[in-house]
Amino acid sequence: MRADTSKIVPVADRIIAQADAKTRIAAAAAALVDSGETLMVNGGSTTLAFAKMLPPDRSLGLITNSVSILDQVDTTAFTNVYAIGGELLSISGVMIGPVVFPHSDRIHVDTAVIGVRAVHPTRGISTATVAEAAMISDMMRAARRTIVVADSTKFWQSA
Rounded to whole angstroms, what are the CA distances from 100 to 64, 71, 86, 133, 147? Answer: 12, 22, 11, 16, 21
Q: Is the dihedral of CA 31, 36, 38, 43 positive or negative?
A: positive
Phi and psi for 87 in degrees, rounded to 5?
Answer: -85, 135
Rounded to whole angstroms, what are the CA distances from 140 to 2, 109, 120? Answer: 26, 9, 17
Q: Give the lowest-confidence range in 48-57, 95-104, 121-130.
A: 95-104
Local structure of 48: helix, strand or coil: helix
Question: Which helix (H) or strand (E) covers residue 41, if one does?
Answer: strand 38-41
Measure the CA–CA gap between 121 and 54, rounded to whole angstroms. Answer: 29
The mean pLDDT value for 6-25 works out to 72
User: In terms of Cα–Cα distance, which of 16, 78, 69 is closest to 41?
Assistant: 69
The mean pLDDT value for 30-49 works out to 95
Break the chain down into helix, strand, coil percent, rounded to 5. 35, 25, 40
For residue 81, pLDDT beyond 70: yes
**pLDDT tens sequence across 87-122:** 888 777 788 887 766 656 677 899 999 999 999 999
